[in-house]
Amino acid sequence: MRKFSLMDRWRIPTYDKLEHMQTGDLYFNPKKCKQCGICIRVCPGGCIVTDSVTKKDMLKDMKKGVKSGVPYVDKMKSGVTLCMACYDCGAACPHNAISIKKNINPKYFYKRLTQASEMTYPKKY
Amino acid sequence: MGKVITAVEEKENVSNLLDENINSKNETLSQLGKYEEGMPWNPVEQVILERRSIRAFKKEPLPNSMIRRILEAGRYAPSTGNTQPWKFIVVNSQEIIEEMEKDAVKVIKFFMFLLDYTRGNTLRRLYILSWVKWVIRLMKNELNPVPFALMTQIAQDRTPAFHGAPTLVLLVEDRRGAGNPSVDIGICGQNMVLAAHSMGAGSCWIGITKVLMYLPKWRKKFGIKYPYRLNDCIAFGWPSPRADGMVQREVQLVQWYEKGMNYDPRVERQGE
Protein backbone atom coordinates (compact mmCIF):
# COMPACT_ATOMS: atom_id res chain seq x y z
CA MET A 1 0.00 0.00 0.00
CA ARG A 2 1.44 3.39 -0.91
CA LYS A 3 1.38 6.31 1.51
CA PHE A 4 -0.59 9.47 0.81
CA SER A 5 1.37 12.16 2.60
CA LEU A 6 0.30 15.68 3.52
CA MET A 7 2.63 16.93 0.77
CA ASP A 8 0.85 14.71 -1.76
CA ARG A 9 -2.49 15.96 -0.58
CA TRP A 10 -1.42 19.57 -0.92
CA ARG A 11 0.22 19.41 -4.33
CA ILE A 12 -1.87 19.27 -7.53
CA PRO A 13 0.19 17.85 -10.43
CA THR A 14 0.73 19.86 -13.60
CA TYR A 15 -1.02 17.80 -16.24
CA ASP A 16 1.48 18.36 -19.03
CA LYS A 17 4.70 17.85 -17.05
CA LEU A 18 6.40 14.51 -17.52
CA GLU A 19 7.71 14.52 -13.94
CA HIS A 20 4.18 14.95 -12.56
CA MET A 21 2.32 12.49 -14.75
CA GLN A 22 2.88 8.90 -15.68
CA THR A 23 0.38 8.40 -18.49
CA GLY A 24 -0.45 5.27 -20.44
CA ASP A 25 1.48 4.20 -23.49
CA LEU A 26 0.85 1.53 -26.12
CA TYR A 27 2.99 -0.54 -28.42
CA PHE A 28 1.67 -1.21 -31.93
CA ASN A 29 3.35 -4.24 -33.45
CA PRO A 30 4.07 -3.19 -37.06
CA LYS A 31 4.34 -6.83 -38.17
CA LYS A 32 0.84 -7.72 -36.93
CA CYS A 33 -0.90 -4.38 -37.66
CA LYS A 34 -3.00 -4.49 -40.83
CA GLN A 35 -3.74 -0.73 -40.65
CA CYS A 36 -7.52 -1.20 -40.52
CA GLY A 37 -8.09 1.87 -38.33
CA ILE A 38 -10.41 0.21 -35.80
CA CYS A 39 -8.32 1.29 -32.79
CA ILE A 40 -8.39 4.93 -33.91
CA ARG A 41 -12.17 4.73 -34.11
CA VAL A 42 -12.74 3.19 -30.67
CA CYS A 43 -10.23 5.29 -28.69
CA PRO A 44 -12.22 7.23 -26.03
CA GLY A 45 -10.17 10.40 -26.20
CA GLY A 46 -9.15 10.27 -29.83
CA CYS A 47 -5.49 10.04 -28.85
CA ILE A 48 -4.57 7.19 -31.18
CA VAL A 49 -3.62 8.77 -34.51
CA THR A 50 -1.61 8.11 -37.62
CA ASP A 51 0.38 10.75 -39.47
CA SER A 52 -2.59 11.62 -41.69
CA VAL A 53 -5.71 10.47 -39.84
CA THR A 54 -7.42 11.34 -36.51
CA LYS A 55 -10.54 9.92 -34.87
CA LYS A 56 -12.79 12.67 -36.27
CA ASP A 57 -11.81 11.68 -39.83
CA MET A 58 -12.55 8.05 -39.03
CA LEU A 59 -16.02 8.84 -37.70
CA LYS A 60 -16.87 10.60 -40.96
CA ASP A 61 -15.45 7.90 -43.22
CA MET A 62 -14.06 4.58 -42.05
CA LYS A 63 -12.11 4.10 -45.29
CA LYS A 64 -9.82 7.05 -44.56
CA GLY A 65 -7.96 5.10 -41.90
CA VAL A 66 -7.27 2.08 -44.07
CA LYS A 67 -3.61 1.77 -44.99
CA SER A 68 -2.77 5.20 -43.59
CA GLY A 69 0.14 3.90 -41.55
CA VAL A 70 0.71 2.12 -38.23
CA PRO A 71 -1.04 4.18 -35.54
CA TYR A 72 0.67 5.63 -32.47
CA VAL A 73 -0.33 7.38 -29.25
CA ASP A 74 -0.34 11.14 -29.68
CA LYS A 75 2.09 12.99 -27.40
CA MET A 76 2.21 16.55 -26.13
CA LYS A 77 5.41 18.56 -26.55
CA SER A 78 6.57 17.47 -23.09
CA GLY A 79 6.10 13.78 -23.92
CA VAL A 80 2.92 13.29 -21.86
CA THR A 81 0.31 11.17 -23.66
CA LEU A 82 -3.44 11.33 -23.09
CA CYS A 83 -3.76 7.54 -22.85
CA MET A 84 -5.49 6.21 -19.72
CA ALA A 85 -4.60 2.54 -20.47
CA CYS A 86 -8.24 1.45 -20.78
CA TYR A 87 -7.14 -0.93 -23.56
CA ASP A 88 -10.43 -0.65 -25.45
CA CYS A 89 -8.25 -0.59 -28.56
CA GLY A 90 -6.61 -3.88 -27.63
CA ALA A 91 -9.96 -5.58 -27.02
CA ALA A 92 -11.23 -4.33 -30.38
CA CYS A 93 -8.07 -5.06 -32.41
CA PRO A 94 -8.79 -8.06 -34.66
CA HIS A 95 -5.08 -8.81 -35.14
CA ASN A 96 -3.82 -8.61 -31.51
CA ALA A 97 -1.30 -5.99 -32.57
CA ILE A 98 -1.58 -3.71 -29.53
CA SER A 99 -0.02 -4.14 -26.11
CA ILE A 100 0.20 -1.84 -23.09
CA LYS A 101 3.61 -0.45 -22.20
CA LYS A 102 2.64 1.58 -19.14
CA ASN A 103 -0.45 2.25 -17.06
CA ILE A 104 -1.62 5.69 -15.97
CA ASN A 105 -0.60 6.99 -12.58
CA PRO A 106 -0.52 10.74 -11.93
CA LYS A 107 1.64 11.88 -9.03
CA TYR A 108 0.87 13.87 -5.86
CA PHE A 109 -2.83 14.61 -5.33
CA TYR A 110 -4.11 12.08 -7.85
CA LYS A 111 -1.64 9.32 -6.93
CA ARG A 112 -3.13 5.83 -7.13
CA LEU A 113 -2.69 4.02 -3.86
CA THR A 114 -3.97 0.46 -4.19
CA GLN A 115 -3.18 -0.29 -7.85
CA ALA A 116 0.16 -1.96 -8.56
CA SER A 117 1.92 -1.11 -11.80
CA GLU A 118 1.77 -4.70 -13.11
CA MET A 119 -1.21 -5.51 -15.28
CA THR A 120 -2.81 -8.96 -15.56
CA TYR A 121 -5.75 -10.61 -17.28
CA PRO A 122 -8.71 -11.81 -15.19
CA LYS A 123 -7.65 -14.72 -13.01
CA LYS A 124 -9.85 -17.73 -12.28
CA TYR A 125 -9.62 -18.11 -8.51
CA MET B 1 -44.67 -23.41 -42.61
CA GLY B 2 -42.98 -20.04 -42.92
CA LYS B 3 -43.05 -19.62 -39.17
CA VAL B 4 -41.35 -22.97 -38.60
CA ILE B 5 -38.51 -22.10 -40.98
CA THR B 6 -37.87 -18.76 -39.33
CA ALA B 7 -37.82 -20.38 -35.91
CA VAL B 8 -35.28 -22.96 -37.09
CA GLU B 9 -33.19 -20.28 -38.76
CA GLU B 10 -33.22 -18.21 -35.59
CA LYS B 11 -32.07 -21.20 -33.59
CA GLU B 12 -29.23 -21.78 -36.01
CA ASN B 13 -28.20 -18.15 -35.84
CA VAL B 14 -28.19 -18.25 -32.06
CA SER B 15 -26.17 -21.48 -31.92
CA ASN B 16 -23.71 -20.05 -34.46
CA LEU B 17 -23.23 -17.01 -32.25
CA LEU B 18 -22.74 -19.18 -29.19
CA ASP B 19 -20.26 -21.37 -31.04
CA GLU B 20 -18.29 -18.32 -32.08
CA ASN B 21 -18.20 -17.11 -28.51
CA ILE B 22 -17.06 -20.42 -27.14
CA ASN B 23 -14.56 -21.03 -29.91
CA SER B 24 -12.97 -17.65 -29.38
CA LYS B 25 -12.34 -18.59 -25.74
CA ASN B 26 -11.60 -22.26 -26.50
CA GLU B 27 -13.59 -23.46 -23.54
CA THR B 28 -17.12 -24.05 -22.34
CA LEU B 29 -18.77 -21.91 -19.72
CA SER B 30 -19.60 -23.01 -16.18
CA GLN B 31 -23.15 -23.56 -15.05
CA LEU B 32 -24.82 -20.86 -13.00
CA GLY B 33 -25.34 -21.55 -9.31
CA LYS B 34 -22.23 -23.53 -8.43
CA TYR B 35 -18.59 -22.82 -7.57
CA GLU B 36 -15.42 -24.92 -7.76
CA GLU B 37 -11.95 -23.49 -7.42
CA GLY B 38 -10.47 -22.54 -10.78
CA MET B 39 -13.60 -23.35 -12.76
CA PRO B 40 -14.25 -21.67 -16.13
CA TRP B 41 -16.18 -18.38 -16.13
CA ASN B 42 -19.93 -18.63 -15.95
CA PRO B 43 -22.05 -16.58 -18.39
CA VAL B 44 -22.64 -13.74 -15.91
CA GLU B 45 -18.93 -13.41 -15.12
CA GLN B 46 -18.16 -13.54 -18.81
CA VAL B 47 -20.47 -10.61 -19.53
CA ILE B 48 -18.96 -8.67 -16.62
CA LEU B 49 -15.34 -9.33 -17.58
CA GLU B 50 -15.77 -8.83 -21.31
CA ARG B 51 -17.78 -5.63 -21.05
CA ARG B 52 -15.86 -2.76 -22.58
CA SER B 53 -17.25 0.73 -22.92
CA ILE B 54 -18.30 0.96 -26.56
CA ARG B 55 -17.73 4.31 -28.22
CA ALA B 56 -18.40 3.51 -31.87
CA PHE B 57 -21.97 2.69 -32.83
CA LYS B 58 -23.97 1.72 -35.88
CA LYS B 59 -26.44 4.39 -37.02
CA GLU B 60 -29.53 2.20 -36.59
CA PRO B 61 -30.85 2.32 -33.00
CA LEU B 62 -31.71 -0.66 -30.82
CA PRO B 63 -35.35 -1.74 -31.24
CA ASN B 64 -37.64 -0.02 -28.73
CA SER B 65 -38.62 -3.35 -27.18
CA MET B 66 -34.95 -4.01 -26.43
CA ILE B 67 -34.53 -0.62 -24.77
CA ARG B 68 -37.57 -1.44 -22.63
CA ARG B 69 -35.99 -4.77 -21.73
CA ILE B 70 -32.78 -3.01 -20.69
CA LEU B 71 -34.75 -0.49 -18.60
CA GLU B 72 -36.41 -3.46 -16.90
CA ALA B 73 -32.99 -4.45 -15.53
CA GLY B 74 -32.69 -0.93 -14.14
CA ARG B 75 -36.15 -1.05 -12.59
CA TYR B 76 -35.14 -4.17 -10.66
CA ALA B 77 -31.87 -2.76 -9.29
CA PRO B 78 -31.38 -2.76 -5.51
CA SER B 79 -31.68 0.60 -3.77
CA THR B 80 -31.42 1.81 -0.17
CA GLY B 81 -34.70 1.10 1.59
CA ASN B 82 -36.30 0.37 -1.81
CA THR B 83 -36.56 4.13 -2.41
CA GLN B 84 -35.76 3.76 -6.14
CA PRO B 85 -34.34 7.30 -6.31
CA TRP B 86 -34.12 7.39 -10.11
CA LYS B 87 -35.87 8.73 -13.15
CA PHE B 88 -35.01 7.48 -16.62
CA ILE B 89 -35.15 9.73 -19.66
CA VAL B 90 -34.76 7.96 -22.99
CA VAL B 91 -33.49 10.23 -25.77
CA ASN B 92 -34.00 8.44 -29.04
CA SER B 93 -34.17 11.39 -31.42
CA GLN B 94 -31.16 12.00 -33.61
CA GLU B 95 -32.07 15.69 -33.85
CA ILE B 96 -31.99 16.18 -30.08
CA ILE B 97 -28.75 14.20 -29.66
CA GLU B 98 -27.04 16.29 -32.35
CA GLU B 99 -28.21 19.46 -30.60
CA MET B 100 -26.90 18.12 -27.27
CA GLU B 101 -23.57 17.34 -28.91
CA LYS B 102 -23.29 20.86 -30.31
CA ASP B 103 -24.13 22.52 -27.01
CA ALA B 104 -21.87 20.22 -24.97
CA VAL B 105 -18.97 21.06 -27.26
CA LYS B 106 -19.77 24.77 -26.92
CA VAL B 107 -19.79 24.66 -23.11
CA ILE B 108 -16.60 22.56 -23.01
CA LYS B 109 -14.86 24.94 -25.44
CA PHE B 110 -15.76 27.84 -23.16
CA PHE B 111 -14.42 26.10 -20.04
CA MET B 112 -11.27 24.96 -21.78
CA PHE B 113 -10.66 28.50 -23.06
CA LEU B 114 -10.54 29.50 -19.40
CA LEU B 115 -8.81 26.49 -17.88
CA ASP B 116 -6.65 24.65 -20.42
CA TYR B 117 -3.03 25.58 -19.80
CA THR B 118 -1.65 22.71 -21.90
CA ARG B 119 -2.30 24.59 -25.17
CA GLY B 120 -1.25 27.99 -26.41
CA ASN B 121 1.77 30.17 -25.65
CA THR B 122 3.91 30.37 -22.52
CA LEU B 123 2.36 33.59 -21.25
CA ARG B 124 -1.14 32.12 -21.35
CA ARG B 125 0.14 28.99 -19.65
CA LEU B 126 1.82 30.86 -16.80
CA TYR B 127 -1.21 33.10 -16.27
CA ILE B 128 -3.66 30.21 -16.13
CA LEU B 129 -1.34 28.07 -13.99
CA SER B 130 -1.23 30.87 -11.40
CA TRP B 131 -4.83 30.14 -10.38
CA VAL B 132 -6.14 27.03 -12.12
CA LYS B 133 -4.90 24.64 -9.43
CA TRP B 134 -7.25 26.24 -6.93
CA VAL B 135 -10.11 25.51 -9.32
CA ILE B 136 -8.90 21.93 -9.71
CA ARG B 137 -8.79 21.60 -5.93
CA LEU B 138 -12.39 22.80 -5.70
CA MET B 139 -13.62 20.58 -8.55
CA LYS B 140 -11.31 17.64 -7.93
CA ASN B 141 -13.58 15.07 -9.55
CA GLU B 142 -14.68 17.04 -12.59
CA LEU B 143 -11.14 18.25 -13.34
CA ASN B 144 -9.30 15.00 -12.58
CA PRO B 145 -6.52 14.51 -15.18
CA VAL B 146 -8.58 12.08 -17.28
CA PRO B 147 -11.78 14.11 -17.80
CA PHE B 148 -9.59 17.21 -18.13
CA ALA B 149 -7.69 15.57 -20.99
CA LEU B 150 -10.95 14.41 -22.55
CA MET B 151 -12.31 17.95 -22.44
CA THR B 152 -9.16 19.35 -24.06
CA GLN B 153 -9.61 16.80 -26.85
CA ILE B 154 -13.31 17.66 -27.28
CA ALA B 155 -12.50 21.38 -27.31
CA GLN B 156 -10.05 20.76 -30.16
CA ASP B 157 -12.67 18.77 -32.12
CA ARG B 158 -10.62 15.61 -31.89
CA THR B 159 -13.29 13.42 -30.34
CA PRO B 160 -17.08 13.78 -30.00
CA ALA B 161 -18.85 14.02 -26.64
CA PHE B 162 -21.68 11.55 -27.32
CA HIS B 163 -19.85 9.24 -29.76
CA GLY B 164 -22.69 9.41 -32.31
CA ALA B 165 -24.82 7.14 -30.13
CA PRO B 166 -28.35 6.44 -31.42
CA THR B 167 -29.90 6.28 -27.92
CA LEU B 168 -29.10 8.05 -24.67
CA VAL B 169 -30.60 7.12 -21.33
CA LEU B 170 -30.26 9.96 -18.84
CA LEU B 171 -30.10 8.77 -15.24
CA VAL B 172 -31.69 11.45 -13.10
CA GLU B 173 -31.26 11.21 -9.37
CA ASP B 174 -33.99 11.98 -6.85
CA ARG B 175 -32.05 13.85 -4.21
CA ARG B 176 -34.49 12.91 -1.47
CA GLY B 177 -33.50 9.22 -1.72
CA ALA B 178 -32.40 7.30 1.38
CA GLY B 179 -28.75 6.97 2.35
CA ASN B 180 -26.64 7.61 -0.71
CA PRO B 181 -28.84 7.95 -3.81
CA SER B 182 -25.84 8.44 -6.13
CA VAL B 183 -24.70 4.90 -5.39
CA ASP B 184 -28.19 3.58 -6.12
CA ILE B 185 -28.04 5.31 -9.51
CA GLY B 186 -24.70 3.66 -10.19
CA ILE B 187 -26.00 0.19 -9.33
CA CYS B 188 -29.09 0.74 -11.45
CA GLY B 189 -27.04 1.92 -14.43
CA GLN B 190 -24.61 -0.97 -14.23
CA ASN B 191 -27.55 -3.41 -14.15
CA MET B 192 -28.75 -1.93 -17.43
CA VAL B 193 -25.27 -1.91 -18.97
CA LEU B 194 -24.70 -5.59 -18.18
CA ALA B 195 -28.15 -6.51 -19.47
CA ALA B 196 -27.41 -4.66 -22.71
CA HIS B 197 -24.03 -6.33 -23.21
CA SER B 198 -25.50 -9.78 -22.50
CA MET B 199 -27.80 -9.18 -25.48
CA GLY B 200 -25.00 -8.08 -27.79
CA ALA B 201 -25.60 -4.34 -27.55
CA GLY B 202 -22.90 -1.82 -26.61
CA SER B 203 -23.00 0.91 -24.00
CA CYS B 204 -20.92 3.70 -22.58
CA TRP B 205 -21.26 5.89 -19.51
CA ILE B 206 -21.08 9.53 -20.55
CA GLY B 207 -20.60 11.60 -17.41
CA ILE B 208 -19.63 14.65 -19.44
CA THR B 209 -23.37 15.11 -20.17
CA LYS B 210 -23.41 17.06 -16.90
CA VAL B 211 -21.93 20.12 -18.64
CA LEU B 212 -25.33 20.58 -20.34
CA MET B 213 -26.79 21.42 -16.94
CA TYR B 214 -24.96 24.76 -17.06
CA LEU B 215 -27.44 25.71 -19.79
CA PRO B 216 -30.99 26.56 -18.59
CA LYS B 217 -32.25 25.40 -22.00
CA TRP B 218 -31.46 21.75 -21.28
CA ARG B 219 -32.52 21.88 -17.62
CA LYS B 220 -35.89 23.10 -18.85
CA LYS B 221 -36.08 20.65 -21.75
CA PHE B 222 -35.54 17.60 -19.53
CA GLY B 223 -37.43 19.03 -16.54
CA ILE B 224 -34.47 18.83 -14.21
CA LYS B 225 -35.16 20.86 -11.08
CA TYR B 226 -35.44 20.07 -7.38
CA PRO B 227 -35.70 17.24 -6.26
CA TYR B 228 -34.02 16.00 -9.43
CA ARG B 229 -30.38 16.23 -10.46
CA LEU B 230 -28.80 14.80 -13.60
CA ASN B 231 -26.42 12.16 -12.27
CA ASP B 232 -25.12 10.38 -15.34
CA CYS B 233 -25.99 9.24 -18.81
CA ILE B 234 -25.56 5.94 -20.64
CA ALA B 235 -25.35 5.62 -24.43
CA PHE B 236 -26.78 2.45 -25.96
CA GLY B 237 -26.49 1.10 -29.49
CA TRP B 238 -25.17 -1.66 -31.68
CA PRO B 239 -21.39 -1.74 -31.46
CA SER B 240 -19.46 -1.17 -34.67
CA PRO B 241 -16.94 -2.81 -34.60
CA ARG B 242 -17.66 -5.41 -31.88
CA ALA B 243 -15.16 -4.46 -29.22
CA ASP B 244 -16.05 -6.55 -26.16
CA GLY B 245 -13.22 -8.66 -24.79
CA MET B 246 -11.06 -9.28 -21.74
CA VAL B 247 -8.20 -6.88 -21.10
CA GLN B 248 -5.39 -6.43 -18.62
CA ARG B 249 -5.95 -4.43 -15.48
CA GLU B 250 -3.69 -3.33 -12.66
CA VAL B 251 -3.01 -5.81 -9.88
CA GLN B 252 -4.99 -4.60 -6.89
CA LEU B 253 -3.63 -4.45 -3.34
CA VAL B 254 -6.27 -5.85 -1.00
CA GLN B 255 -6.13 -5.76 2.82
CA TRP B 256 -7.25 -8.94 4.56
CA TYR B 257 -8.02 -8.64 8.27
CA GLU B 258 -7.90 -12.26 9.32
CA LYS B 259 -6.05 -12.79 12.56
CA GLY B 260 -7.63 -10.70 15.28
CA MET B 261 -7.54 -7.28 16.91
CA ASN B 262 -3.80 -7.26 17.70
CA TYR B 263 -2.58 -8.04 14.19
CA ASP B 264 -1.92 -5.89 11.15
CA PRO B 265 -3.80 -6.79 7.96
CA ARG B 266 -2.17 -8.97 5.34
CA VAL B 267 -1.85 -7.25 1.94
CA GLU B 268 -2.67 -9.54 -0.95
CA ARG B 269 -1.98 -8.83 -4.62
CA GLN B 270 -5.34 -9.55 -6.20
CA GLY B 271 -5.09 -10.83 -9.74
CA GLU B 272 -1.47 -11.95 -9.79
Residues of A in contact with B38 (CB under 8 A): 124-125
Q: How far apart are CA B33 and CA B219, in angstroms?
A: 45
pLDDT digits (tens, 9 = 90+) for A38-83: 888 888 888 898 888 888 888 887 777 778 889 999 888 888 888 9
pLDDT digits (tens, 9 = 90+) for A97-123: 999 888 889 989 999 999 988 899 999
Q: Which residues of chain B have pLDDT under 50?
A: 1-23
B152 to chain A: nearest residue by CA?
A45
Domain count, chain B: 1
pLDDT at A36: 87
Do you find a cis peptide bond into B241, omega within 30 degrees of 0? yes
Q: Which of A41, A84, A104 sits opposite B56 (nearest CB)?
A: A41
pLDDT at B26: 54
- Within 8 A by CB and 6+ apart from B29, the residues are B22, B40, B41, B42, B43, B46
Residue B156, domain extent: 55-242
Given a cut of 80, whether residue A29 has pLDDT beyond it is yes
Strands A115-120 and B167-174: unpaired
Q: Under a CB-based contact definition with an 8 Å cutoff, are residues B184 and B77 in contact? A: yes
Q: Under a CB-based contact definition with an 8 Å cutoff, are residues A1 and B253 in contact? A: yes
Q: What is the mean pLDDT of residues A91-95?
A: 90
Residues of B in contact with A114 (CB under 8 A): 252-254
CATH code: domain of residue B230:
3.40.109.10
pLDDT at B25: 52
Residues of A in contact with B269 (CB under 8 A): 116
Q: Under a CB-based contact definition with an 8 Å cutoff, are residues B271 and B211 in contact? A: no
Q: How far apart are CA B203 and CA B57, in angstroms?
A: 9
Q: Which of A21, A56, A121 sits opposite B158 (nearest CB)?
A: A56
- Within 8 A by CB and 6+ apart from A35, the residues are A50, A65, A66, A67, A68, A69, A70, A71
- Within 8 A by CB and 6+ apart from B264, the residues are none
pLDDT at B28: 87
As a whole number, the mean pLDDT across chain A is 88
CATH node for A6-106: 3.30.70.20
Residue A66 C-alpha, separation from nearest chain B C-alpha, in angstroms: 14
Residues of A in contact with B242 (CB under 8 A): 92
Residues of B in contact with A120 (CB under 8 A): 248-249, 251, 271-272
CA atoms in the 13 A half-sphere facing the CB of B41: 16
- Within 8 A by CB and 6+ apart from B85, the residues are B79, B173, B174, B175, B176, B177, B178, B181, B184, B185
Supply the pTM of this predicted model.
0.86
pLDDT at A27: 92
Assigned domain for B248 exists? no
User: Is B36 in the A-facing interface, judged by CB distances under 8 Å?
Assistant: no
Q: Do B55 and A21 touch (CB under 8 A)?
A: no
- Concatenate the DSSP letters of all residues of A3-18 into one string: ---HHHHHPPPPTT-T
